[in-house]
Each structure stands twice: as C-alpha cells, then as structure tokens.
Amino acid sequence: MLPPDGRARVVVERVRPEIDCGVFAVKRIMGESMVVEADVFTDGHDSVAGEVLYRCAQQSDWQRSPMKPVGNDRWRGEFRVVECGRYEYTVEGWIDHFETWRRAMIKRIQSGQAVQTECLIGAELIEEAAARATGDDALKLREWARSLPNDQQLALDEELRNIVQRYPARQFANRYEKLLPLLVDRKKAGFSSWYELFPRSSSPAANTHGTLRDCEARLPYVASMGFDILYLPPIHPIGHTSRKGKNNEVAAGPDDVGSPWAIGSEEGGHTSIHPKLGTLDDFDRLLAKAKEHGIEMALDLAFQCSPDHPYVREHPEWFRRRPDGTIQYAENPPKKYEDIFPLNFETSEWRDLWQELKRVVLFWVERGVRIFRVDNPHTKAFPFWQWLIGEVKSTHPDVLFLAEAFTRPRVMARLARIGFSQSYTYFTWRNTKKELTEYFQEITQTEMREYFRPNLWPNTPDILPEFLQAGGRAGFAIRLILAATIGSNYGIYGPAFELFENTPREPGSEEYLNSEKYELKQWALNSASAGNLRSLIARVNRIRSENPALQSMVNLRFHETDNSEVICYSKTTSDLSDIIIVVCNLNPFHTQRGWINLDLDSLGVDARRAFQAHDLLSDGRYLWNGPRNYFELIPESLPAHVMKVRKWVRTERDFDYYL
C-alpha cells in the first residue's frame, strides 16, 4: 500500500521527553519552560528544519516554536506553559529548500564558480517566501528577489536568511507519529511547605477534645513558621467497633478516641465531620481563616472504612468477605488493623464504587479544598486513581494530590506517572552522603524528573526514624535543613517535630510512644525547646520564600567534599541570578571539618575571582576564592551553611560591589 504522500522525506523520531511511549503525561509547573528534543533528518544532503507544536487540550490550533540543531541530527526547541491544565505537543520537520540553496551557494561563491543560474533559483525561493510573508517583511523579500540576480553577495545576508526563516515552506512536512500529553499544575505543586497537625489535639485545656475552632486558633502559630499548607488527618466520625486504644492496643477503654483513619460511624462517613470537631460550617470558617493567613488547607483522603461506616451497611458488596462470612479487615502482617475495612476494588460493582469515591472528592472540592494527601494509594487499583485524578482535574485543574506511598520504587513511580501531583519519598531513611546523593540524582537526573515530584518529610505520625530518635536537637535541625533545601516540597508532622518528640514505642520500632494517632495530646508550644526549633523552622522557610533557587529541584547539583560526614550541593535558577550552596553536617554528634570542591562553571562563577558566600542561617559572610574552600560545622550550634553566592561586579566607575 502506498503511503499518503511519498514526498514527505523527513524523519522525526526519538522525541524527548516522552513517558512510556506517550501513555502518561510529562509534568510541568505554570511559568516553566518545556524543552523538547528530537532526531530530525532526511536522506541525501538537503537541509531540514523543525518546530515544536503545542496547544492546550481544549484548543484546536497549534502554536509553534522553532527548533535548533544541537549536533548529530538532534534538534531542540522549547516553549513556556502559562495555563494550568492539560497540553499536548509533538514535533514536525520538513526540507528547508532555501537553507539548502543558501548553503550550496556559499560554497560556490567561495570556490569562484559561476552562480547566475543559482541566483535565479534563489530569487524564486525568496519570492515564494514573500508570498507567505506580511507587511514590511514581504516588501523586503520582493526587493531581495529582484536584486539577487545582479548581486550574488545577497545570498550571504543574515537578515535575508532570518526573514525567510520566519515564513517557512512546510510543504511535505512530516510529523512525529504521536501527540504527547503534558500536564501543567499550579505553582504550589512544585513549591510548598506542609505542616501536619491533629485538630483534636488543639484544645488549650488538658484531656479535652479539640475542635475546628481550636484549630483555627493555631493558624497564627503555623503561619509564624512560614508554612503555606496545613494538612489535617481525617476529620470524619470514627468507628466504635474494634476501636484501638492507646499505643494501638487492641482493647480500647471507654475514653479512648480511636484512630482518625478508622473512618465512619452512625454519625456519617467520608463527607461528614466528627461531631466533637464541629460542623461543616466550622470547617468552611477554618478554610476561610486559613486563607487569611496565607495558608491553604489539605485534607486526608483515606478510602477505607471502619466496621461502623454507612457503606458497610448500605454497600456490603464493596468489601471482601472471608470464608466465615465476616468482612476482611486490613492487615500488613504481623500488623492487624481490626478497626479498618479496606474497599474491594475487584468487586463486580466497581463502577458504583468508583463513582461514589469521586463524589466524595468533589464534595470537598466544591467546599473549597484543592489539596488532598492520599493515604496509602498503593493499596488501591492503579486504573482507579488514573481515572479519578483525570476526572477531577478535567473540571478542576488546580486540584493537587499527594501520594503517601512508602512502598516499592516501581509502585511509587507508577503512581506518579498516572497523575499524582507530588509523592512521598525515601528521604526519611536516607541518612549518609552516599545514600542522599544517589537517591536524589536518580530523582532529578533521570527520566523520573519529568513526572515524579518529591515531597520530603523527616517524620510523620506513622514514622519516627532512627536518626531522629538518636540525634537530639541537632538531628532534627539537620533533617529539617536537608528536607527544606534539597526539596522544593517538604513537610513536617508537628508539633512533634519542633518539640523534638523522639521516644519510640519500643527499641527498634519507628512508632511513637503514646502516639497521637490513638490519643489526645497537649503540646507545650511555648516551651523553650519549641521556641528554639520554631525559630529555625521560620528562618528556613523564610530563606526558601526569598530565594527562587530553592523553589525548584531542576538545577540540583552535588559537589565534592573530602569528609564523608558532610554533604554539599547547590541549587540555582536557570539564569543563575540566584545561587544557593548548602554544606550540611550529617553527623548530629560531632563537629566536622574539611574542604569542599565546587564546580564553579556550573554556578557561573569565575574561578579567578573571589566571591562572597553569605550564610543565610547565621548571617555570616565569607570571602571564598576558587573552587576549594574550608568548612567547620558544629552540630549543636551550626550544623549547616545555606550560602547565597554574591559575585563581584565591576562598574563603569571602576569599583566593585557584591551583586
């Protein structure tokens, strides 16, 4: 069978980025540039040209951005995404007959050949470009076409070349075989600072269940530390059947409040508020008050049920039954969660289940919630999440989903590819220089960077890592600085974090003793220890907000140190207008000294000139010369430097100052 048009001779292949042959979308943030590369070539010796074609999903017309050769038939182009939502893009290539003529013409002129005929050919090509041009460009091209036969040097004119290239002849153009998806999220998907707290522990009175109004009173405290997202664990009614007691004990006492993740009771399910927390009106008020403080609310999305959830009575077909007729409760052997029934995503009534869960999400979206932290998404079906996220974002493209999935690498990557806006990471357990360097190079320097947005958490209500158990205040400070400066998205579970809560349930366990998951807590927010780390948290968040280099992970680069207990890395803006160098002691017990060896070329710093390194943590200023510089980091007082590079600038009046 003959092709549609055998005259389309240009080959377009190996377009990058492309995720799983175009099945999944590349991700970008509003305002970012999308760089696209492709192999574009043809038979013989003709010159080729290429463009990136792109458009919002709802548009029919393509926008075009020219591509430039980067060597070995590889071409590169870019465009900026300015709207939130779905895009698609592809690459188109064609024979550039004018450039083919011009290239040959230059060689003929340089070798002294007669070029009268070639001038006539060129004049025809210029006339054709004039027919496609408009305004002054068309007039100039027609004048060039008339003059060329009598002035062969016009073939070398760069202005002529530039104008002709504005109006390419895309005759017989070939397009890449696929339209590739691109998902553009709002800026908070790429830069955010999360703070998690339990509203029921926000009462000022001891042993008293907190309310959403009490949580409202905590907003100034959260805002004072510079957090812009307040994440609440489930705020729904909690079941009574098989309710867990303190420290996850199987038998609950009459006053035990249970786990918020055991969702549902006779008082309602996933669209209800726990009566002791308040009402939906109280929630709406909290949402509005948080906005006044510059804080956005994130809700926990835990698709599971207590035995008392209305779904169990109304839709028993949504749950898996054991041979004895009882409903299967959640297990992660040897752990048992008798207070939680997982949903069965293999039920024959899966369509009704999916639609109901979508209704739950849209219920909160319509109340103004735009961020969801999704509990254990890896225990639910991938196709469900792909459908749900796509459905929600088709009408509300500003909604963000954080995947709380501390699971196998390929599962975490799959969740990111199918649409989750951010992902929890293994940062929580990466402590050494080698571990941190290898892990974040994988995330930022492989294809993962195109779809996986890490969110770094030093602790969670479920996880008290060994580093925090043993490291004391210095350990908490080190993990805070690392999370906030390596990551552009990070969060802490507080007030446990700023109060250095570090006692495990038992040796070798990562669970908290007297975990807030199972009981009310009263936190001493105004204690000296809280104030000390609270001020450091506030300073770190202020540094993040004032330095665009820390608001992305695109330009993360690691630098050499001669001390295995110290890590050094830099982050920069694409134009190098903001340069941050972090030197961090990874040992919370001992002072570390040594030398760093900076890759100054990557930072745009002249190795022959001194530059000022301004430590934004201590406000100290250091004059550094060349790539090799000394450090000394005392964990109790100064576990890290967060250096802003200030280059020398020579002025017209011949004196220097720091930029």
- Residues classed as catalytic: 375, 404
Q: What angle do CA 388, 392, 394 make, to 5 degrees?
A: 115
State which H helix or E strand residue 238 sits in.
Answer: none
Beta 48-56 vs 85-95: how paired, if at all? antiparallel
- Token output for 600: 């100054």
Instruction: State the burial class of residue 184 (Cβ atoms within 10 Å of its Cβ: 0-12, 13-18, 19+).
Output: buried
* Unique residue bearing structure tokens 């509300």: 396
List C-alpha distances in Å: 168 to 48, 118, 126, 299, 478: 11, 20, 11, 51, 56
Which helix (H) or strand (E) covers residue 232, if one does? strand 229-232
Q: Are 29 and 40 contacting, i.e. CB atoms less than 8 angstroms apart?
A: no
Strand runs labelled E in 394-472: 400-404, 422-424, 454-456
Cβ contact 246:259 at 8 Å: no
Q: Are 391 and 360 in contact (CB under 8 A)?
A: no
Picking from 484, 508, 481, 514, the residue whose alpha carbon sits closest to that of residue 496 is 514
The closest alpha carbon to 337, from 235, 257, 265, 249, belongs to 249
Question: Shortest CA distance to 571 belongs to which of 481, 638, 626, 645?
Answer: 645
Sorted by sequence, the CB contacts under 8 Å of residue 72 that are 6+ apart come out as none
- Taking residue 266's Cβ as centre, other Cβ atoms within 10 Å add up to 11
Beta strands in 576-616 (DSSP E): 579-585, 592-597, 610-615
Name the phi and psi angles at 207, rounded to 5.
Answer: 55, 30
CA atoms of 412 and 659, how far apart (whole Å): 42
Question: What's 180's DSSP letter?
Answer: E
Q: Is 234 exposed, middle or buried (0-12, 13-18, 19+ CB in 10 A)?
A: buried
Token pair 């735009």 is found at 370
Is there a contact between 206 and 278 (Cβ–Cβ < 8 Å)? no
Instruction: Take residue 457 and report the two structure tokens written for it.
Output: 């958490």
Cα separation, 405 vs 243, in Å, equals 24
Are 338 and 327 a contacting pair, CB within 8 Å?
no
Residue 374 is which amino acid?
A: V
Helices (H), 397-546: 409-417, 433-445, 466-486, 528-546
- For the record, the structure tokens of 298 come out as 């994130």
What Rg do the C-alpha atoms of the chain give, in angstroms?
30
SS (H, E, C) 53-76: EEEECCCCCCEEEECEEEECCEEE
Distance in Å from the first CA to the final CA of the chain: 65
- How far, in Å, CA of 202 to CA of 296, rounded? 18
Helix (H, G, I), strand (E, B) or coil at 331: strand
What single-letter DSSP state applies at residue 102? H
Cα angle at 38 between 98 and 451, to 5 degrees?
Answer: 145
